[in-house]
Structure 1
Amino acid sequence: MVSYADPGPVEAVGPVEWVESGGGPLIAVPEVVLPFWTGADGDELASDYDRACEVDGFAGLLPVGNTAALVLGDDPAATAYLPEHRTFVRWFAGDSESELLARVPAALDTAAWGSEVHWRVPGPVVLFDAAWPGEESTNAGRLRIALEPGRYAVRAAHAEPGPETWIGLVQLTPLGE
């Protein structure tokens, strides 16, 4: 896991943990089904990683075990989860972490959101490189996100909240049962 903490006004909330990919998509897999995610391994014609690479756009769902995982597609950008915004933030371009994080609220307000999908989450999820098998996701390069069980609306957007700041946003909004 990478931390890009740098001095600045956002530092007061603590360092933000970023997950990076080796070149493919990142995936958020519910902890209860981590053993079912085989990543790029497997004897099948299309691996789980291949399935994740086929997801179009910024975000999509893939079946894993008896639930679904959230694929963060389109770009292998460093990604963090900001619980105060219930949002995965993807760092496409920006001079510093503090500048990028300071622009997130404006980006959330002005983003042109794509279509929404609904994701049923059985509890905490683990964000990691989709190429890794789920059982190996406990190694460095992963982030555990303590989501409450339930249904979430998931929407995604690309935003340019500053002249040199480009970010991806994948926001989770709890839905009533």
Structure 2
Amino acid sequence: MVRHAEPGTVEWIESGGGPLIAVPETVLPFWAGADGDETASDYDRACEIDGAVGLLPVGDSAALVLGDDPAATAYLPDHGVFVRWCAADSEEDVLARVPDALAGAEWGAEVRWKVPGPVVLFDAAWPGRETERTEHLKVTLAPGAYAVRAAHVRPGPETWLVLVGLRPLPH
């Protein structure tokens, strides 16, 4: 886990170059990552996601793939958004620009993601059973359906972000 500011402020997760994935805790054992005897591993399937977000079946649930860019990613629960740091001078700059970025975001199409509860964000190459051995971030989400959408934003001349918003849907 990468920390750029004071411990406990914001935790950033990075990948080895491929997509990050948010897998519901209840189905973590079913995510094989780059392992497996199949023609296409789970990691291969995640790499095939075209765009900033996509869903893949995992067990009796679905995982959210954060594709497009292997950027350092944090979850800001107060905003209900994953922030993907593509370019910025500092973490302070990224975090200070999030409110303006959210206000000016031109969001892409929404996907509907149903989760049974907390999810774990990690490098899609890792098997779900081994997330404790690698960088990962537990994201506490209430069980239910969420509208997920992404936006590429440039809230400052040297600041580029991808925002992935999660909006709870009514039951």
| TM-score clears 0.5 | yes
SS of residue paired to 2:21: strand
* Structure 2 unaligned blocks of 5 or more: none
Q: Pairwise mapping of residues 1-177 of structure 1 onto structure 2 (< 5 A)?
A: 1-5=1-5, 14-177=8-171
Count of residue pairs brought into register by the alignment: 171
* Structure 1 unaligned blocks of 5 or more: none
Q: Write out per-residue CA displacement over residues 3-54 of structure 1, whole angstroms, 9 at most, x where no aligned residue.
A: 1116xxxx9xx51000000000000000000000000000000000000000
Q: Write out per-residue CA displacement over residues 132-155 of structure 1, whole angstroms, 9 at most, x where no aligned residue.
A: 000011223100001000000001
How much is the aligned-residue C-alpha RMSD, in angstroms? 1.0
CA distance in 1, matches of 2:170, 2:118: 18
The normalised TM-score by structure 2 is 0.98
CA distance in 1, matches of 2:98, 2:154: 10
Q: Shift in Å at residue 112 of structure 1?
A: 1.1
CA distance in 2, matches of 1:99, 1:76: 19
Q: Write out per-residue CA displacement over residues 44-91 of structure 1, whole angstroms, 9 at most, x where no aligned residue.
A: 000000000000100010000000000000000000000000100000
Q: Shift in Å at residue 164 of structure 1?
A: 0.1
SS of residue paired to 1:113: coil
Identity of aligned residues (%): 71
Runs of 4+ in structure 1 over 4 Å off: none
